[in-house]
Amino acid sequence: MASSGKSGSLKPTDNTAPLFLPSNINNQKEEGGGLRMPRVDKSLLDLNGHWEFPEQMYTDNYIGFVYAMQNKLTGMKYIGKKLYAGMGVQNKGVESNWKYYCSSNKLIDADVKVLRTAGFPASELFDLICLEQYKTKGGLSFAEVWSLVMAETPSNYNKFYNRLINGVSWAVRERVTDRHKTRFFEFLER
C-alpha cells in the first residue's frame, strides 16, 4: 500500500477547539463554494492506487470498476462505481482520478479532505476495495445497482452512507461476475 510519508495511523487528539485545517485550505475555494480537495502525490501510489484488488486494474479493455468502502472507526460502508477514463467529448480516453478517488458522498469527501490536508491517505480511515472491473458501461452500472440492491442500502441507513439507488435505464450486456458476488458478500460480512 502506498505511504503518505507519515508513519503510523491516525490517533485521536484531545483538541476540542474548532477544526484547524493547515496550509490555508480554509481559504481555498472551488466552484460551488466548497473546499478544494488537497492534491495527492501520485508518485506514492501503487499500480492500483489505493484500491485493494488481487490483480492489476485498468487492463484488458475494462472501462471501470465497482468499489466498496468501509470506515475503520464507525463501520459505515459505501458502494459506488468509477470509470477509468472520460467518455465525454472533451475528455474521451483521458485517464480519470481513479487511483485516488474515494467517493461523491459528501460525508466521506469531507473526511478525506481532512485526512489529506493533514498528510494522511484515505486508506488511514477507510478500507478501499475494488469488487470487480467491467468492460461495458451497462455492465458497470448494473453491477453497482445490483450491489446496492443486494445490500438494501436505502433501508440500511445505519450501516451505509448510500441513501439512493437512482432509477436509470440502460442496456445490460454484462452479468455481475461470480468473483464480484463472492468479494461483495465477503465485504458485507466484515
The predicted model scores a pTM of 0.70
Q: Is residue 126 part of a domain?
A: yes
Q: Is residue 80 part of a domain?
A: yes
* Listed residue (116, 127, 126) closest to 6, CA to CA: 116
Domain ranges, residue 69: 43-188
Total number of domains in the chain: 1
Judged against a pLDDT cut of 80, whether residue 9 lies above it is answered with: no
Q: Determine, yes or no, domain membership for 71.
A: yes
pLDDT beyond 80 at 6: no
27 lies in some domain: no
Q: 45: pLDDT confidence band, cut at 50, 70 and 90?
A: confident
* pLDDT tens digits, 122-170: 999 999 999 999 999 999 999 999 999 898 887 788 899 988 776 443 4
**Residue 12 domain-assigned?**
no
Q: Is the pLDDT of residue 94 over 60?
A: yes
Residue 1 in any domain: the answer is: no
In a domain, 135, yes or no: yes
Whether 93 is covered by a domain: the verdict is: yes
